[in-house]
A and B are shown apart, each in its own frame.
Chain A
Amino acid sequence: MGQTPPILTMTGIGKQFPGVTALSNVDFRLFPGEIHALLGENGAGKSTLIKVLTGVYPHDAGEIELAGQPVSFSGPSQAQHSGISTVYQEVNLCPNLSVAENIFIGREPRRYGQIRWGELRRRSTELVGRLQLDIDVTQQLDTYSIAVQQMVAIARAVDIDAKVLILDEPTSSLDASEVQQLFQLMRRLKEAGVAILFVSHFLDQVYEIADRMTVLRNGRLIGEYMVAELPQLELVSKMIGKELQVLEQLEEQQQKRPPVATLERGTPVLDAEGLGRSGAIEPFSLAIHKGEVVGLAGLLGSGRTELARLLFGADKADHGRVEMDGQPVSLRGPRAAMARGVAFSSENRRTEGMVEELTVRENIILALQAARGWSRPIPRRRQDELVQRYIEALSITPADPEVEVRNLSGGNQQKVLLARWLITEPRLLIVDEPTRGIDVGAKAEIQRLIARLADGGLAVLFISAELEEVLRLSHKIAILRDRRLVEELENTEEIDTDRILQSIASGVVVEGEPV
């Protein structure tokens, strides 16, 4: 490299949202004819960086230079005119129009105000021919697969004289052969000198296609690396980070890990056999016992949430069966799972957890009330009693049950969600990312609470992106990778984060039983 000047340079980019620093002093550069992967866990600032680049958000600090000229875009269309095109995960085209119409929509060749259809078809055919795509441009777009639609979107972007092409999660809804088709197109564009910014959760794909990568974590730049020079294992540890010293100090009094030896495993509370759902998670088997915490580890998109949703009946499994206490059960929906004593606290507090305009009290009693049905209200005195008890037990602040839950901090909202499920007296508690986005103090409290509940005999399925947390709480750790449960480990002294990272990054089973 070195010889060619970068086509795009972003220097010292900063972006604040109310109460959150989304980006802080981030540098990013992109060379013509390279594929550059932008990597980071959820919330690392990848989307924000792209939105700053394309003018969706104004940036608070830093400079953007395109081909040596300082630029500042007021919106994506302006960015597009300057040669920066973006193709999003969901194809932003009109499925009911023809391929040709989609390619030229908004910039149709015209004469005297009339669209020149012949010209439009000729130029579209020429364009797909140049990109070596086998597409009939007169066909309606939705007669083609998502992969082809994505390539039409790319063709459209490229035709608007793109110097920089941003592909945001282009492969997330494609199967393996479609990914290869897409990669071929990307390679051809790269040879033509287009600079491609590639965002993906799939690290194997990054290693296959990208030349260079930039890693972000918590809105900060971790570094820029040549793909060939950074092993996958190291990349994963850079993405996840080890910022937990503070937390560990808070946790000193607690045992390092739960005593696996003393756990008596009888009949599992829940035993899944070959449970799976196509497109979400491949068939897996998993048993969770009374008093046991089973941790789920894996990168974002590895199928952690999908697995949990099957066990709660939030999504229907199309393979396998579930036994609870040795009895076969059918988890048709959340209510059926609840009736069996399963509780599920979603990772999306805002969209799937809180009912924001309801009060803390109403949010806490919601699941219990739903289980009783509308005609058997929980007497108000009993509600107040229960809510008060959990506000105290979980130290929810403010301790006012009648305040709207949207006014609480993330950590307190998480506690409200836990309280909602704890008052239903579940036998299996599934918690998906209960500590994400909350401050260290609240994090430690929630961890302590989960450990205490398990000591009291509750079976827990604990999902977290933070490996230290999983290690600290779990008796058993199940590792997911690319929507497959690849390994199940007893959490003994030999297991450490490196061992788990290895499994997450490569899927190679070094020791322990393959599943």
Chain B
Amino acid sequence: MSAVLRNRLFWPVAILVLLIFGNVFFTPTFLSIEVREGHLYGSLIDILRSATPLALVALGMTLVIATGGIDLSVGSVMAISGAVACLWISEQPDQNAVSGVLVAVGLALVLSLLLGAWNGMLVAAVGIQPIIATLILMVAGRGIAQLITDGQIITINSSAYKVIGAGYWLTIPVSVIIVAIVAAITMVITRRSALGLLIESVGGNPSASRLAGIHSGRLTLLVYAFAGLCAGIAGLIYTSNVSSADGNNAGNLVELDAILAVVIGGTSLAGGRFSLVGSVIGALVIKTLDITIYTVGVPTNTTLLFKALVVIALCLAQSPAFRARITGRRPAAHGKEVAA
């Protein structure tokens, strides 16, 4: 088992290490970490902090993809969650009051969970294809976020809320601690209970799973709700860090990055076996890639193009037909048809 795990995580870790060393070449101080004003400080810490929303979204996305689905609405859910929290706080007489912030956080998370469950219901109960079902909320969600913020950018001034995205605890960024806790809980729940196995089974072979008595509908609802919750937390971290909610730009294109992170982490888009650790590493790879492009001096407006090339390369590498063409052999699908 550990051999398989090592094998699976080998490439994502290798890419990450490669990127970091590439940066050391351009920025010799890249690896240095120091304590300033009671905070850890350095490029690596910047990467960790900037990767937190993406890592959270990728965690939820991993389970959705493992069931053979996909969630395009995560960016919109991020925007809605942040907008709701900021709106609530902005209307408090004392924006610094912890109680008000807690209510705001609670509201945002419950709403995110419900939005995720809505996606899950469309997929599991109504039977809409995941990409279409979540496309609905992807588009409509932006509109909802705009409605909440009334088309404006809501700016708040709450030191209590700012702790989530920009605070430190024992020199460590609070956002990083949150991600670590969510990731740890998710891993423990999926691997200590039978949830992970059943999700992998449903993603690996839906009809066999049904005949084995697995209620795939409930699992589907659960993973989409979880993806919503993760996106909601990501939205809180994002808006807390900048102390404002922008319904238009919060979480824009995060679904692409999250899917990419999951794929880099070794989870197949076809569903089945998943790796949560891999997805977190995938998120770090993407953020390091962003910073690398920046430090190397590639114009930021070509970042998306660069990432798109990486996506294409990864998808091609996953495709058996493409691999077969490269190696010059016909795909081995013929054997399956013998019995037909």
Q: Which residues of A contact B (CB under 8 A)?
A: 17-20, 22, 42-43, 47-48, 51, 57, 312, 314, 334-335, 338, 344, 346, 350-358, 362, 365-367, 369-378, 402, 420, 437
Contact sample, A vs B, 26 pairs, CB 8 Å cutoff: A18-B335, A19-B335, A20-B338, A42-B339, A43-B339, A47-B340, A334-B211, A335-B213, A335-B215, A338-B213, A351-B207, A355-B201, A357-B272, A358-B200, A362-B197, A362-B200, A366-B197, A369-B194, A369-B198, A370-B198, A371-B213, A372-B194, A373-B194, A377-B192, A377-B193, A377-B194
Q: How far is the CB of A463 from chain B (nearest CB, A)?
A: 15
Supply 20 further A-B pairs (C-beta < 8 A) apart from A374-B194, A375-B193. A19-B335, A48-B338, A314-B210, A334-B210, A338-B213, A344-B211, A352-B205, A352-B208, A354-B205, A355-B204, A355-B205, A358-B201, A358-B204, A362-B197, A366-B209, A366-B212, A366-B214, A369-B194, A370-B213, A374-B193
Which of B192, B200, B212 is the most central at the interface, judged by chain A CB atoms within 10 Å of its CB? B212
Produce 1/0 per residue, B1-30, CB < 8 A to A.
100000000000000000000000000000
Contact with A along B166-201 (1 / 0, CB 8 A): 000000000000000000000000001111011011
Nearest Cβ on chain B to A134's Cβ, whole angstroms? 35
A47: min CB distance to chain B, Å: 5
User: Closest chain B residue to A371 by CB distance?
Assistant: B213
The answer to whether B194 touches A334 (Cβ under 8 A) is: no
CB pair B334 A57 closer than 8 Å: yes
Q: Does B219 sit at the interface, judged by CB under 8 A?
A: yes
State whether the Cβ of B325 lies closer than 8 Å to any Cβ in chain A. no
| B97 to A: closest C-beta gap in Å | 37
Knowing A22-B338, A47-B337, A357-B272, the reply to whether A346 touches B211 (Cβ < 8 A) is yes
Which residues of the other chain, A, contact B35 by a CB distance below 8 angstroms?
Answer: none
The answer to whether the Cβ of B273 comes within 8 Å of any Cβ in the partner chain is yes
How far is B211's CA from A57's CA once the two chains are assembled, in angstroms?
33
In the complex, B332 has a CB within 8 A of chain A: yes
Q: A17-B334, A17-B338, A22-B338 are in contact. Are A355 and B213 (CB under 8 A)?
A: no
Proximity string of chain B (264-285) to chain A, C-beta cutoff 8 Å, 1 when within and 0 when not: 0000000011000000000000
Minimum CB distance partner of A380 in chain B: B192
Do A352 and B197 have beta carbons less than 8 Å apart? no
Say yes or no for B336: interface residue by CB 8 A criterion. yes
Least CB distance from B185 to A in Å reads: 15
Contacts of B200 in A (CB 8 A): 355, 357-358, 362
Inter-chain CA distance A43–B334, complex, in Å, is 14
Asked if residues B211 and A314 are in contact (CB atoms below 8 Å), the reply is yes
Assess the A350–B213 pair: CB atoms within 8 A. Answer: no
Least CB distance from A144 to B in Å reads 27
The list of the 4 closest CB pairs from A to B, nearest first, reads A370-B213, A377-B194, A355-B204, A370-B214
**Which of chain B's residues have a CB closer than 8 A to the CB of A357?**
200, 204, 272-273
Given A374-B194, A377-B192, A352 contacting B213 (CB threshold 8 A): no
Is A366 within 8 A of B201, CB to CB? yes
Q: What 1/0 flags go to B206-228 for Cβ under 8 Å of A? A: 01111111110001000000000
Q: How far is the CA of A373 from the CA of B332 in the complex (A)?
A: 36
CB distance from A361 to the nearest CB of B (A): 10
How many angstroms between the C-alpha atoms of A94 and B127 in the bound complex?
A: 23
Which of B205, B211, B214, B337 has the most chain A CB atoms closer than 10 A to its own CB?
Answer: B211
CB-based nearest A residue for B339: A43
- Distance A17 CA – B339 CA, assembled complex (angstroms): 11
Residues of chain B with a CB closer than 8 A to A371's CB:
213
Residues of chain B within 8 A of A51, CB atoms compared: 337
Q: Look across to chain B and name the residue whose beta carbon is closest to the beta carbon of A377.
A: B194
A378 near B194: Cβ-Cβ < 8 Å: yes
Q: Which of A18, A314, A352, A377 contacts B332 (CB 8 A)?
A: A18
A491 to B155, alpha carbons, bound, how many Å?
Answer: 83
Give chain B residues whose Cβ lies under 8 Å from the Cβ of A355: 200-201, 204-205, 208-209, 272
Select from chain B the residue with minimum beta-carbon distance to A22. B338
- Smallest distance from the beta carbon of B238 to chain A beta carbons, Å? 31
Q: Which residue of A lies closest to B197 (CB)?
A: A362
The residues of A that contact B1 with a CB separation of less than 8 Å are 402
Q: State in angstroms the CA–CA spacing of A420 and B211 once bound together.
A: 11
Residues of A within 8 A of B197 (CB): 358, 362, 365-366, 369
Please, how many angstroms separate the alpha-carbon atoms of A38 and B204 in the complex? 36
Q: How far is the CB of B184 from chain A (nearest CB, A)?
A: 18
Which A residues are CB-close (under 8 A) to B336?
Answer: 350
Q: Which residue of B lies closest to A424 (CB)?
A: B213
Within the complex, the shortest CB–CB distance from A433 to chain B, in Å, comes to 11
Q: Is the Cβ of B340 less than 8 Å from the Cβ of A334?
A: no
Q: Which single member of A47, A57, A312, A356 contacts B204 (CB below 8 Å)?
A: A356
- Chain B residues within an 8 Å CB radius of A377: 192-194
List residues of chain B with CB within 8 A of the CB of A374: 193-195, 198, 219
> What chain B residues lie within 8 Å of A365 (beta carbons)?
197
Question: In the assembly, what is the distance between CA of A354 and CA of B211, in Å?
Answer: 10
Expressed in whole angstroms, the Cα–Cα distance for A38 and B211 within the complex equals 34
CB nearest to B200 among chain A residues: A358
CA distance A57 to B338 in the complex (A): 11
CB of B86, distance to nearest CB on chain A (Å) = 36
